[in-house]
Amino acid sequence: MTAQGFLWVLGAFLLALGLLIVIHELGHYAAARLCNVKVLRFSVGFGRPLWMRRCGRDGTEWALAAFPLGGYVKMLDEREAGVEGVAEHELPRAFNRQSVGRRSLIVVAGPLANLLLAVLLYWFLFMSGVEEPRPVFAAPPAGTLAAEVKVGAGETARAVSGTPVNTWTELRWELLRRVLDRETVVLETIDARGHIAVYRLEAGRLDSAALDVDVMQALGLHLLRPDLPAVLGTVQAGSPAAAAGLQPGDRIQGLNGRVVSSWHELVRGIRESGANPIELDVLRGERALSVRLVPEMVEEKGGKRVPRIGIGVRDDPELRKSALVTVRYGVGESLQRALTQTWEVSVLSLRMIGRMLTGELSVKNISGPVTIADYAGQSARLGVDHYLRFLALISISLGVLNLLPIPVLDGGHLMYYLAEVIKGGPLSERVMEIGQQIGFALLFLLMALAFYNDIIRLVSN
């Protein structure tokens, strides 16, 4: 990865992380203020503060700390007040003096703020309109479920088990939900002549290893991409293509001595080359050129590393119109769809966590900050709408993760409060201390696994 590419990925990641942390902690902060609990510090990050400022009638410290993977809202609490304790007149504003209901509201407000952010982002996207690929299939690879039932190249998906789909993203979502349940997927398609076909894909035949990759790849369903001419539309600054002198408007006519007649053939040739040097035959206006370069290996979804040279195809409005569809809804329907999407993604996240705990899904699906940063950079390059969709997905993941009943997480505190209601009084400090130790151990193991997966993805080819 070039220095510029690294800075782009880092910037997109830090922006996403900072926004999601601030929204989460603002949820806690707003609920605390609503319950008249005094907030001592609002911190983005952990550790030594790099920047701090006091403001507000309570003199709340607003801080930016050195370790950015998280944040916290510190409230007035007798258990953490030290030797001096809490002043008599401020006891009613101490967190520990609040009712179970108020404490639960303050704790749950953080994850709810993340889920609300996702709703707002989806709402905006559905109203403004999102350009998506039409769900048109390429020829399925031999040996896949789609090939067995003879899904035809050029057919367009209309519905999955009775649910209409208009875009490739909607198709992928509906298939993922049903494949996780090992359902028999009923796929309805229509071809260019208007002939409707119905296929039954026995998803239960897929083994757990197949579910570790993209669900579409596991089923053998691939997007049919327009056969564009191999003409460069963009050349990324700092990329191997830019270093070799390639320019927008260049037509690639050959790769390592083989004739290239389409963009698809060019991409396939670059992928087949791996990290080996490639030689391109280029036509620039009337002048023929020969360009030699070495692809850069980058990681794509699923952890596979592929060669990239940093070029983009020249846009063809007519082909774009035939290959893409803009999905846009009114204010009311957009809100309904945003709420439904947030709910379904949240439930799916919980189900996938459950499947990993039972061994039905591999823990390789757990991603750490390196992979998330890479996805942030990729989505930002694709455009604002893709980046906002990435933010919504990560915000839901953060909200759901914090609601898990693990001590030190928000869900762990809610578990304590439930036990307090059942017991008729607060749990002993010893029990809570043991719970905290268990929670920290679980989080450490989770973070270690996530970092391990990141490293494996980085070193694998």
**CA triplet 382, 389, 396: central angle to 5 degrees?**
145
216, 222 contact by CB (below 8 A): yes
pLDDT, tens digit, for every residue of 370-403? 566 666 666 666 678 888 888 998 899 889 989 9
Q: Which residue has the higher pLDDT, 454 or 266?
A: 266
Q: Do domains 131-226+316-327 and 232-314 have the same CATH topology?
A: yes
pLDDT, tens digit, for every residue of 3-40? 566 677 777 777 888 888 899 999 999 999 999 999 99
Q: Minimal CA–CA distance to 418: which of 24, 33, 97, 108? A: 108
Which range has the top average pLDDT, 341-345, 354-358, 422-426? 341-345
Q: Identify the residue whose tokens are 């769809």.
A: 337
Beta strand spans in 181-267 (E): 184-190, 196-202, 232-235, 251-255, 258-259
Mean pLDDT over each residue of the chain, to the nearest integer = 84
pLDDT, tens digit, for every residue of 282-338? 999 889 999 999 998 876 655 567 888 989 888 777 777 777 888 889 999 999 999
Measured in Å, how far apart are the chain's first and last C-alpha atoms? 15
- In this model, does residue 461 exceed pLDDT 50? no
Domain definitions of the chain by residue range: 98-129+331-461, 131-226+316-327, 232-314
- In this model, does residue 100 exceed pLDDT 70? yes
Tell me what pLDDT residue 408 has.
83
**DSSP letter string over 82-121?**
-SS---GGGGGG-GGGS-HHHHHHHHHHHHHHHHHHHHHH
Residue 209, both tokens: 């290893």
Q: Identify the residue whose tokens are 């957009």.
A: 334
Tell the burial category of 421 from Cβ atoms under 10 Å away from its Cβ (0-12, 13-18, 19+): exposed
Residue 80, both tokens: 């953490």
Check residue 293 and report its DSSP letter: E
Q: Identify the residue whose tokens are 């304590």.
A: 416
How much is the average pLDDT of 56-78? 87
Q: How far apart are CA 40 and CA 295, in angstroms?
A: 52
Tell me what pLDDT residue 366 has.
64
Q: What is the pTM of this model?
A: 0.76
How much is the average pLDDT of 87-110? 91
Which residues are annotated as catalytic?
Answer: 25
Check residue 209 and report its DSSP letter: T
Q: Is 130 helix (H, G, I), strand (E, B) or coil?
A: strand
Q: Assign a CATH topology to domain 232-314.
A: Pdz3 Domain (2.30.42)
CATH fit for domain 131-226+316-327, picks 3.40.50.150, 3.40.50.1980, 2.30.42.10, 3.90.950.10: 2.30.42.10
Q: How far apart are CA 114 and CA 22, in angstroms?
A: 10
Residue 221, both tokens: 């369903």
Q: Which of 88-97, 210-219, 309-318 has the lowest mean pLDDT?
A: 210-219
How much is the average pLDDT of 427-451? 78
pLDDT, tens digit, for every residue of 109-151? 999 999 999 999 999 999 998 888 889 998 898 888 889 999 9
Rounded to the nearest 10 degrees, what angle do helices 100-128 and 410-423 cross at? Answer: 140
